[in-house]
Structure 1
Amino acid sequence: MGRLVPAVTRALDILELFLERDGPLSAPDIVRGLGLPRTTVHELVGTLTARSYLAPVPGRAGHYRLGVRAYQLGSRYAEQLDLAAEGQQVARSVAESCQETVHVAILEDTDVIYVAKVDSTQAVRMVSAAGRRLPAHCTAVGKMLLASLPAEELAARLPDGAELRAMTPDSVTDVAALRKELADVAERGFAVEESESNTDVSCVAAPVRDRSGRVVAALSVSVPLIRWNRERRDELAELARRGAGRLSERLGHPKR
């Protein structure tokens, strides 16, 4: 990498302050936040405003918000994103760290569709494929995605009396029981499936968010029962959360 240009670095630092704070910023806020000289800040803010990366706040002299050019660049970046391709890269990284099978899935009606998948390197492993469709209520990714729906939308997709198909003897087939579990998932922040889609496999999943904060996918780690216990579950849940967080960042969601 070549030498970094100080003026460009400082201008980007100013723009990135808006990722850390809500609302507009004043020149003194920027001086305090970055420790830059006042004259430098005024010159940089003037340049960024002239190029529409910042905009003055009407009625609040000396205060600035992000300008339309920043929005245009963000929108162009979002247009170029490919969930499957980004998910495959992150899934590969997670799989390398735990040596288990990793999936990324989306919700379609009451099913999940796997859009990315990386196999475990271990001899005993889950066998699946990208593009596969399964009932959402039988999978950790599906439970995570269902739990992220607004209550009205969940009720529309899974009304009282809806028939839930069982894939194994452990599959949840009662809507009321499923809704109770989904409430627990939403509170806990990750979903668990134990032998509900495959009698020999358990799974944990975490939510993937887009730049607006909406849950658009879920990332899961699947484990044969011979390697599954409470301690392993918690360890893999944390890996899934971190992986889902990285994928969310790639989709434009602010880093927390």
Structure 2
Amino acid sequence: MTQVSPKGSYHLQTVSRALDALRLLEESGAPLSQTEIAEALGEPVPVVFRILHTLEGHGVVKRGRDKRYVPRGRVEADGLGRPLDILRVLSAAGSAGARSEEIAARLGLETRLVGEALVVLASRQLAAVSEGGTWTLGFGLIELARPLLRGTLRSAVRPLMERLRDESGETATLFVTSGDRQVVLDIAASRQPLRYELEIGAVFVLHRGAAGKAALSAMEDADVKRILEGSDLKNAERRRVLADVMDARRRGFATSLGERLPGGAAVAAPVRDESGRAVGVLGLMLPAFRNEPDRLPHLGKVLAGHLAQLVLPDTLAPANS
């Protein structure tokens, strides 16, 4: 039997923790700091520093200007992912935009690589640069998104949205689920001077707001559990949200007060196709001061009743595709 010396055992443990650190970086969707890695691994910062220094020296990981680490493979081999990550950073920056070095620091990439990707994006009108060197999203993205904006789900639900808006006097909003998030696909804005209105394309987590809980209520229990356990909710909050989801499943609609926007109130219900599959969520949103006693439950019953009569073909893409 081969004997492993204490020194050899220490080296094996170090290699094991180095692999754990590398796996953590590979599975992370964003660059991680030395402190974040140490906390995740349950190791002292000096130990993690030595591990990362060794991995960096062997070219396995790379440290960005913000002192956050990414796997070298992500930096050099992610030819498709890099431009998409850049577009996400520009989307988050909004109209203010971001300079190439800022994007590079955020993603843990070399400024040269970011610059090359931005030039390609600009040549296809997916990104634009000002005279001062600030980058923003390009109008070519609207062309790419045109099928979504003209899609059958949006066009099929639009008449009902306008009817609900006119009957209730409040804003009707159509959501679709993308992964573990929810995206605003369309709105029929209230005609009242004071209204609760989201932007088309706005993205939200599923564990907050009536629309998010309505989406969860239409999912399988295993998916609901996975999403809630992956959220930033404490155990008590998670149990409360789960109870709200179960209540929404029983009633056919969910309600919320000030969860996504202080001073806002909302009611929402799943949109289903002919087969009963959820393909979206439709909600009514209003300022909280117009939420008279029992108004949300009343609007919820009206909303669920209209959606029960809505006939959608089962060829529509599912909401969480």
What range describes the TM-score normalised by the shorter chain of this pair? 0.5 to 0.7
Q: 2:299 maps to what in 1?
A: 236
C-alpha offsets along residues 33-80 of structure 1, whole Å, 9 cap, x if unaligned? xxxxxxxxxxxxxxxxxxxxxxxxxxxxxxxxxxxxxxxxxxxxxxx9
Q: 1:126 Cα shift?
A: 1.0
Q: Structure 1 residues 173 and 251, CA, compared in 2 at 3 Å: closer, same or farther?
A: farther
Q: Could you list the structure 1 runs, at least 4 aligned residues long, displaced by more than 6 angstroms after superposition.
A: none
Q: Given residue 263 of structure 2, which amino acid in structure 1 is its aligned partner? A: D
Report the AA paired with residue 86 of structure 1: A
Which 10-residue stretch deviates more, 125-134 or 80-89? 80-89
The aligned amino acid for 1:224 is P
Q: Which of 212, 224, 227 is the matching residue for 1:157?
A: 227
Q: What are the equivalent positions in structure 2 for 1:112-123 lying under 5 Å apart?
A: 112-123=182-193
**Aligned ranges 1:104-143 → 2 under 5 Å:** 104-143=174-213
Q: How does the TM-score come out when normalised to structure 2?
A: 0.48
Cα deviation digits, residues 224-245 of structure 1 (max 9, x gap): 1111023321221122113323
**Offset of residue 110 of structure 1:** 2.4
Query: Relative contact order (C-alpha < 8 Å, sep 6+): which is higher?
Result: 1
Question: Which runs of 5 or more residues in structure 2 are unaligned?
Answer: 1-149, 316-321
CA offsets, 1:146-188, max 9 Å, x none?
11111112222232x63149xxxxxx98222211221111112
- Root-mean-square deviation (Å): 2.4
Do 1:90 and 1:246's aligned partners in 2 also have CA atoms closer than 8 Å? Answer: no
Q: CA deviation at 1:109?
A: 2.4
How many positions carry a matched residue from both structures? 166
Q: Please, which of 259, 271, 296 is the counterpart of residue 196 of structure 1?
A: 259
**Residues 17-36 of structure 1: CA deviation (Å, up to 9, x unaligned):** xxxxxxxxxxxxxxxxxxxx
Secondary structure in 1 matching 2:198: coil
**Residue in 2 that maps onto 1:250:** 312
- What is the identity, as a one-letter code, of the residue corresponding to 2:225? A
CA contact (8 A) 1:191 1:204 kept: yes
Q: Alignment identity in percent?
A: 23
Q: Say which SS state the counterpart of residue 202 (structure 1) adopts.
A: strand
Amino acid paired to 1:136 = L
Rounded to whole Å, the distance in 2 between the matches of 1:183 and 1:126 is 26
Match for residue 97 of structure 1? 167
Match of 2:274 among 202, 211, 219: 211
Please tell me the residue identity of whatever aligns with 2:212: G
Aligned to 1:49: none
3-state SS in 2 of match to 1:152: helix
Unaligned runs of 5+ in 1: 1-79, 166-171
TM-score, normalised to structure 1, is 0.59
Provide closer, same or farther for how the CA distance between residues 122 and 81 of structure 1 changes in structure 2, counting only shifts above 3 A.
closer
Contact 1:91 1:116 in 2 (8 A): no
Instruction: Select the structure that is richer in helix.
Output: 2
